[in-house]
Amino acid sequence: MTAPQTRERVVKALEGVAFDTIDARDGMLTLRVERAVLGELFARLSDRAGFDQNTLVTAVDHFPAEPRFEMVWQFLSYDHNDRVRVKCSLAEADAHVPTCTPQWPGASFSERECFDMFGVRFDGHPDLRRLLMPDGYLHHPLRKDFPHAGIEPDRLYREWDKKRREGWQPNA
């Protein structure tokens, strides 16, 4: 269902970069690549293929299968009004990928979120901190081996609470 113009344009822009295309159920052009070519791929998609918006950066956890993580990027081109999806598999032991923030500064928060939720590191990200969970949280909640009810959800609060009570003046 992928529009042939999109495929043509992307293939032309990605000349010399190794990639496979897979059939996604929703008909979006989906590329599967190795991690080594990601940096080059982002640059080409941005500059040559004209994808000017990063829609999402996320990961899928296939625990307990290996390779465990599957990174997903999605880009939109306003001029051509089409989308492309990029996928890349990662093992748990070295879960890191290059950042795409130089091309799409708008991906910054998405990458921080992905780091927060899955623990995938983005090399070269200017400010890789947790986004949604508080700093000092020890787990990555969207990993499949993390229980829905959480592990010690109140730990950080309790620590704070202890400090609060130390200087507590009931009459003040």
Partner 1 sequence: MTTKQVFEYMHHAPDHDDPVHGAPMKVNMGPQHPATHGVLRLAIELDGETVTSIDPIVGYLHRGKEKTCESLGWHKFFPHTDRLDYVQPLLNNVGYALACEKLAGIQVPQRGQEVRVLLMELSRVMAHLIYIGTTSIDLGAVTIFFYSFRLREELYSILDAYTGHRMNNTYVRIGGVYADVDENVEGMVAEFLRTAPARLDEIEKLLTANRIWHDRNRGVGVISVEDAKRLSLSGPNLRGSGLAYDLRKAQPYSGYETYDFDVPVGTVGDAYDRYLVRMEEMRQSLRLCTQALERLKKSKGADVLTEDRRYVLPPKGDVHSSMEELIAQFKIVSDLRLPKGEAYHAVESSKGELGFYLVSDGSSKPVRCHIRAPGLMNVQAVPVLGRGRLLSDMVAIIGGLDFVMGEVDR
Partner 2 sequence: MGSLKPVEGEGVGFLATRVDELINWGRKNSLWPMPLGLSCCGIELMAMIGPKFDLARFGAEAARFSPRQCDLLVVAGTMTWKMAEAVRTIYDQMPDPKWVIAMGVCSSSGGMYDSYAVVQGVDSILPVDVYVPGCPPRPDAVIDAIIKLQKKIEREDPLRRLLKGPENKPDIGTGEAFKQPNAGIARSSLDLHPHDPKAKLEELQK
171 binds, among partner 2, partner 1, none (CB under 5 to 8 A by kind): partner 2
Q: Residues 154, 142: contact at Cβ < 8 Å? A: no
Please state whether 67 falls in left (phi above 0), alpha (psi between -120 and 50) or beta: beta
Which whole-number Å values give the CA distances from 79 to 5, 18, 46, 50, 51, in the listed order?
A: 13, 26, 12, 8, 8
**54 lies in the site for partner 1, by CB under 8 A:** yes
- Shortest reach from residue 46's CB to partner 1, in Å: 9
Element (H, E) at 88: strand 82-90
Name which of partner 1, partner 2, none residue 168 binds, using a CB cut-off of 5 to 8 Å depending on partner kind: partner 2
Among partner 1, partner 2, none, residue 67 binds (CB under 5-8 Å by kind): none
Residue with Cβ nearer partner 1 (90 or 117): 117
Closest C-alpha among 118, 100, 116, 120 to residue 108: 100
Q: Which residues bind partner 1 (CB under 8 A)?
A: 24-26, 28, 52-56, 58, 60-62, 72, 74, 78, 81, 83, 85, 103-110, 113, 117, 130-134, 141-142, 144, 146, 148
